[in-house]
């Protein structure tokens, strides 16, 4: 029987068995329950979060998340009247 040599040179011989040898970056994957896993990902990101299943949430929290995700239309701004502005207060900013 051949003896197996357990030393630091053994690691240099092994490799990942896959079709493409692209650069993978260490990423922290966060599950919906808060648990985390370290994995290698194709894009350089710090944290990757899984989407939350909205069907398992209570109705009030689900509606609050939808309101936060899709805000309403912006309110129209009221334009200022030029008639009500005193031009003498801004006289120092004019160029001569």
CB 37 within 8 A of CB 49: no
Tokens 């692209």 label which residue?
A: 22
Q: Is residue 5 scored above 70 in pLDDT?
A: no
First to last CA, the chain: 100
Average pLDDT for 65-72: 86
Q: Is residue 50 scored above 60 in pLDDT?
A: yes
* Interatomic CA distance for residues 90 and 82, integer angstroms: 13
Contacts of 41 (CB under 8 A, 6+ apart): 24, 25, 26, 27, 48
Q: Is residue 10 scored above 60 in pLDDT?
A: no
Percent of the chain with pLDDT over 90: 15
4 φ, ψ (degrees, to nearest 5): -90, 125
Segment 32-49, tens digit of pLDDT? 888 999 998 888 899 988
pLDDT of residue 36: 92
């Amino acid at each position: 029987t051949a003896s197996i040599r357990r030393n630091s040179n053994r690691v240099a011989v092994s490799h990942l068995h896959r079709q493409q040898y692209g650069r993978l970056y260490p990423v922290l994957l966060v599950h919906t329950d808060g648990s985390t896993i370290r994995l290698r990902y194709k894009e350089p990101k710090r944290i990757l979060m899984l989407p939350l299943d909205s069907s398992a949430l209570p109705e009030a929290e689900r509606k609050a998340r939808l309101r936060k995700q899709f805000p309403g239309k912006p309110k129209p701004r009221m334009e200022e009247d030029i008639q009500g502005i005193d031009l003498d207060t801004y006289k120092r900013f004019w160029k001569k």
